[in-house]
Amino acid sequence: MFVSIVVPCYATSIEQVLQFERLLDSIQSQTYREVEVVLVDHSPSELVQVAKSNRSLNITYIRNSKQRGNSSANMNFGMKLANGDLIQVLHMDDFFSRPDAIELMVTTLRSSRTAMWGVLGFDHLRANENRTFNPTMPSLWKTLGCPSATFFRKDVLRTTEFDESLIYINDHDFHQQLILQYGDPVVIPEICVTIQISELQVTRSIGRQRALIEYRFFLDKMRLWQQNYSREVVANKSAQNCERLVIESRNMSQTQSDGKRKLIRRLVAYLRREIHLELEYVRVIPPLEQESMSIIDDDLSRIANQTGTDKGTRIEQTESKQGPRLFFTPIYDFFFTDLRTRQLKILEIGIGSGASIPMWLSYFAEARLYAIDNMRYSLQSNPRLRIDQLDQTDRGQLEEYLREHGPFDVVIDDGGHMMEQQQVSLGVIFPHIRPGGLYFIEDLHTSYWPLGEYRDLYGTQLDVLPDRSNSTVSFLHNFIRTGVSNSPYLSVTENHNLTSLTHKCFVFDLPSTEYGPNHLAVLLRK
């Protein structure tokens, strides 16, 4: 097994050169000899190049001034150039603390053919001191250490790299990628590496604000990965467009309210980016907190809160009884924000109090709005509004209506909320959406009923089976998992059409309300 030791080098002082030479000494003293050293030098001086020149080690030296100051970029660069079957990244101020460290790594991976990566025991050394401290056996419950304590097979580089947007916690992020894709590491408990602690470390120069931004970014990304993606999707997606978000986050206001608004905007930005990745199916968007959702100030939420629709984020009208807010509008806003000036045809199923109709007409300046309900409504006339009485489960009525008024760009199901109603409407209407169009299903909390006091809705008998196998949420999750529509309420042809015409499917997990778990589903038409 050939081994590559990758060293990102940055030296501006003789002290740093001495640390680098100590590292080279520790490699040269290793009992295992099938080793190459890949030096990626992003120093502003020639100190590293001079220091390595009198070594008998198998050294590949790369001068990489372009990525100066970005240790993640330089580690990635070195790993791509490495020829070893086993790769370890060692920072230049760290070093091997026992001569058989590489031999232990090789033996461990040879004896565990399924293991893709591992971690080494390590201790610490303060600069200018001779005594080590805090010996640590790596653990998932405590710490896996910095990159210098990690080794892995070269095969993992097909899907894993250091996130070049991160400085402070790039090691945590790298370890999480490995865990998600390859499982837990093998652990070598012997102290094999010494980690130096000094004021020259990059992490010591990171301010609290930058560290907080990186932690938030890291946690957001981990939630997306854990809940949304298979191993293939995780591959090489981590760094896309993230530097822009980190720079944007540096300007986060110090006030609590503005800070929360900024965090929400970042979360929405992540969701917007992930939705447009080339994925066929995405599982569940991670939940957003109700406290944060209630202060979202996107255009659609502001209009919704003024009109009093429960699709909004907070209650601004107090003169009458108000139900809970369902936080749909922030999701709608980032789907619709680029479509607002287009001459869309929008169909909303279900009118209820009618509060959403002025919201849509105000938000979409050029759209024509169609609304259907099983009750008769006479709302204020508007040349861009048409209202019809229609049963959303009556296939004959729906087909006749769609032939006359379709196809539609956007369909929003805010109708009866029963399983048959939601799934039949989807199966019948979806083929009548224009390519690239959107179909939303609201009020999926009924998939979890009976729940507490909620056993019926508007006097309608619940049609959820005791095992919930017919629930719309179960149907959507199975559709996302398998890519095949198998609704018990749809015909073979309707299920086939839904399967073949759906490009992507999402279920947004929103803050729970008194109704129970709260979701919003969207299907994108091919």
Strand-strand pairing, 502-513 and 284-285: parallel
Question: Would you tell me the crossing angle of helices 242-250 and 208-228 to the nearest 10 degrees?
Answer: 140
120 beta partners: 188
pLDDT for the residue numbered 481: 79
Using CA atoms, how far residue 78 sits from 62, 71, 360, in Å, is: 8, 10, 53
pLDDT for the residue numbered 85: 96
Contact 299, 316 (CB under 8 A): no
The topology (CATH level 3) of 3-205 is Spore Coat Polysaccharide Biosynthesis Protein SpsA; Chain A (3.90.550)
Lookup: tokens for 195:
């980690």
Residue type, 337: T
The 3-state DSSP composition of the chain as helix, strand, coil percent (nearest 5) reads 40, 20, 40
**Distance from C-alpha of 227 to C-alpha of 342, rounded to nearest angstrom:** 34
User: What is the residue-wise DSSP string for 244-304?
Assistant: HHHHHHHT--SSHHHHHHHHHHHHHHHHHHHHTSS-S---EEPP--HHHHTT---HHHHHH
Phi (first) and psi of residue 468, to 5 degrees: 60, 20
Lookup: tokens for 458:
């508007």
For residue 41, give the nearest of 56, 61, 23 by alpha carbon: 61
Using CA atoms, how far residue 427 sits from 424, 484, 523, in Å, is: 5, 13, 12
CB-hemisphere CA count at 13 Å for 54? 5
Residue type, 313: T
From first to last of the 526 residues of the chain, give the pLDDT tens digit.
Answer: 999 999 998 887 888 888 889 999 999 999 999 999 999 988 877 888 777 777 889 999 988 777 666 778 889 999 999 999 999 999 999 999 999 999 999 999 998 878 999 999 999 998 888 889 888 888 765 677 888 999 999 999 988 888 887 777 788 778 877 877 787 888 898 999 999 987 666 655 566 566 666 666 655 555 555 444 333 333 333 333 333 443 444 444 444 445 544 544 444 444 444 433 323 333 334 445 565 555 556 789 889 999 999 999 888 865 455 678 898 998 888 788 778 889 999 999 999 888 999 999 999 999 999 999 988 887 667 899 999 999 999 999 999 999 999 999 999 999 999 999 999 999 999 999 999 999 999 999 999 888 777 776 666 788 999 888 999 999 998 898 788 999 999 999 999 999 999 988 888 878 788 888 888 999 999 9
pLDDT for the residue numbered 194: 96
The 3-state secondary structure of 402-454, one letter per residue: HHHHCCEEEEEECCCCCHHHHHHHHHHHHHHEEEEEEEEECCHHHHHCCECCE
Sign of the Cα pseudo-torsion (302, 371, 376, 461, in order): negative
371 beta partners: 348, 387
Using CA atoms, how far residue 464 sits from 158, 452, 475, in Å, is: 45, 15, 12
Length of the chain: 526
**Distance from C-alpha of 369 to C-alpha of 386, rounded to nearest angstrom:** 6
Q: Phi/psi class of residue 418: alpha, beta or left (left: φ > 0; alpha: ψ in -120 to 50)?
A: beta
- Residue 111: which residues within 8 A CB-CB, separation 6 or more? none
For residue 511, give the nearest of 328, 336, 261 by alpha carbon: 328
CATH of 297-328+338-525, one of 3.40.50.1220, 3.40.50.150, 3.30.70.3270, 1.10.600.10: 3.40.50.150
Contact 510, 288 (CB under 8 A): yes
Q: What is the pTM of this model?
A: 0.52
Q: Is 311 helix (H, G, I), strand (E, B) or coil?
A: coil
What is the DSSP-derived secondary structure letter of residue 89? E
For residue 444, give the nearest of 470, 422, 412, 469 by alpha carbon: 422
**Distance from C-alpha of 266 to C-alpha of 261, rounded to nearest angstrom:** 9
pLDDT for the residue numbered 128: 81
For residue 288, give the nearest of 311, 263, 306 by alpha carbon: 263
For residue 438, give the nearest of 510, 517, 367, 359 by alpha carbon: 367
- Residue 378: which residues within 8 A CB-CB, separation 6 or more? none
Contact 394, 380 (CB under 8 A): no
Q: Is 315 helix (H, G, I), strand (E, B) or coil?
A: coil
What is the DSSP-derived secondary structure letter of residue 46? S
pLDDT for the residue numbered 290: 60
Residue type, 299: D
Q: What is the largest CA-CA distance in the chain?
A: 90
pLDDT for the residue numbered 272: 41
pLDDT for the residue numbered 211: 61
B/e letters for 69-78, b = 16+ CB within 10 Å, e = fewer, are: ebbbbbbbbb
**Distance from C-alpha of 474 to C-alpha of 466, rounded to nearest angstrom:** 13
The Cβ of residue 320 has, within 10 Å, a number of other Cβ atoms equal to: 7
Using CA atoms, how far residue 136 sits from 64, 231, 424, in Å, is: 33, 30, 59
What is the DSSP-derived secondary structure letter of residue 481? H
List the chain domain ranges: 3-205, 208-270, 297-328+338-525
What is the residue whose two structure tokens read 């916690």? 169
